[in-house]
A = this chain, B = another copy of it.
Amino acid sequence: MKRRATLNDIAIRMNLTKVSISKALRDHPDISESTKKKVREIAEEIGYRPNLIARSLTSSRTSTLGVVVPKIAHNFFAHVVAGIQKYANARGYEIVLTVSDEDAELEKKHIEALVSMQVDGLLVSVSMQTKQTDVYKWVKDLQIPLVFFDRYIPGLDFNSVAIDDQRAAKDSVVELIKKGCKKIAHIGGYDHVIIGQQRRLGYEEALKKQGIDPDPQMIVLGGFGEAAGYNGFKELINRKVEMDALFAVTFPVALGAYVAMREIDSTLIDKITVLAFGDSGIRGIVPYPQYYVDQPGMEIGQMATEMLLKEINGEMKPVGHLEYIPTRFVKTGWDFPLLDF
């Protein structure tokens, strides 16, 4: 095995000390151009790469960001991570990615591990189960920059980036009403999960604004996944609710509802106009759901990273600022730009 080259290897060959080599390589003004040139040549020749671990120990910076997501194999979070990567890499940071799998305990462990790794900052989207905030208070004590994205914990003075769920829900449901839908049911998440609550509130607000009294019979709460959508739709049918439209809290919920419709009476699929939060991730061959709220994952990731780097560089303070990224109300259509990978 080739032992990895160190500063000293270059120093010996040049009859200098490692201090000078270190400076030369970092383009420090102390060193003459001719020396720098020579150093770079030899470094190249022997394949020298700085040991970032050693550098981090002295500089107390790792140029590394810790990320915690609830899931990675989900279209939305995959896009957020893509946005984080893009922004961070362009600025010389690498990403340590961890997945909590919606488990508050795992989330805590990952944050502790990332702090132990001395990441320069943290980007986290909390799991749906997270109620304890001890870890976050500990992170705050240590003054480690942290920015929440998508799912945040209010009241801890961390900055956050998210979409304005309540407003997006309200505006979209208003659009639906304007397009002629009169009886809009809602299959929602849970009220103890912030996005579930806000989307339900937005839905009710929209109805009221349009002079419709929200009917508790038309609302089913129960989760964010396919099963929740399936069970929710069956429950609406059990209750003999009449509807011409359905507002689903997430795309998987809409999907579950479609499965239920197909089971009950497949003509319902074209009779009920569905609005869901989140893109299916596939366009062009599926005309359902008819409308959706586009959640710009990339932009959320980029903005969160931008804010985090500002905190790291002392250009921004953690003051509990919540930055909203605008969403779009989209009709599922056939014309869209073709992507070439």
Which residues of chain A have a CB within 8 Å of any CB of chain B? Answer: 1-2, 4, 47, 49-54, 56-57, 62, 64, 71-75, 78-79, 81-82, 85-86, 89, 94-99, 102, 112-118, 138, 141-143, 223-228, 230, 252, 255-256, 258-259, 262, 269, 280-286, 288, 297-298, 334, 338-341
Partner of A341, one of B117, B142, B223, B334: B223
Which of chain B's residues have a CB closer than 8 A to the CB of A114? Answer: 94
Partner of A286, one of B54, B89, B286: B286
Taking A258-B285, A282-B281, A282-B286 as contacts, is the C-beta distance between A339 and B81 under 8 angstroms? no
Shortest distance between the CB of A337 and any CB in chain B (Å): 9
Instruction: Identify which of A252, A281, A284, A341 gathers the most chain B CB atoms within 10 Å of its CB.
Output: A341
Q: Is the CB of B78 within 8 A of A74?
A: yes
Partner of A94, one of B113, B224, B230, B281: B113
Partner of A223, one of B81, B102, B141, B340: B340
Shortest distance between the CB of A95 and any CB in chain B (Å): 5
Query: Number of copies of this chain in the oligomer?
Result: 2
Shortest distance between the CB of A22 and any CB in chain B (Å): 14
Residue on B with the closest CB to A106? B89
A64 to B89, CA, bound (A): 18
A-B contacts, 6 listed (Cβ < 8 Å): A1-B142, A2-B141, A73-B78, A85-B99, A94-B98, A223-B340
Which of chain B's residues have a CB closer than 8 A to the CB of A285? Answer: 255, 258-259, 269, 286, 288
Q: Is the CB of A4 within 8 A of B142?
A: yes
Q: Is the CB of B339 within 8 A of A252?
A: yes
Q: Is the CB of B78 within 8 A of A117?
A: no
Residue on B with the closest CB to A79? B73
Shortest distance between the CB of A32 and any CB in chain B (Å): 26
Shortest distance between the CB of A16 and any CB in chain B (Å): 22
Q: Is the CB of B97 within 8 A of A339?
A: no
Partner of A228, one of B50, B74, B224, B340: B340
Taking A94-B113, A286-B282 as contacts, is the C-beta distance between A338 and B1 under 8 angstroms? no
A126 to B113, CA, bound (A): 29
Residue on B with the closest CB to A102? B341
Residue on B with the closest CB to A287? B285
Which of chain B's residues have a CB closer than 8 A to the CB of A57? Answer: 53-54, 57
Partner of A225, one of B117, B143, B338: B338
Taking A49-B116, A334-B259, A338-B230 as contacts, is the C-beta distance between A82 and B89 under 8 angstroms? no
Q: Is the CB of A75 within 8 A of B281?
A: yes
A138 to B2, CA, bound (A): 10
A118 to B64, CA, bound (A): 13
Q: Is the CB of B75 within 8 A of A82?
A: no
Which of chain B's residues have a CB closer than 8 A to the CB of A255? Answer: 282-285
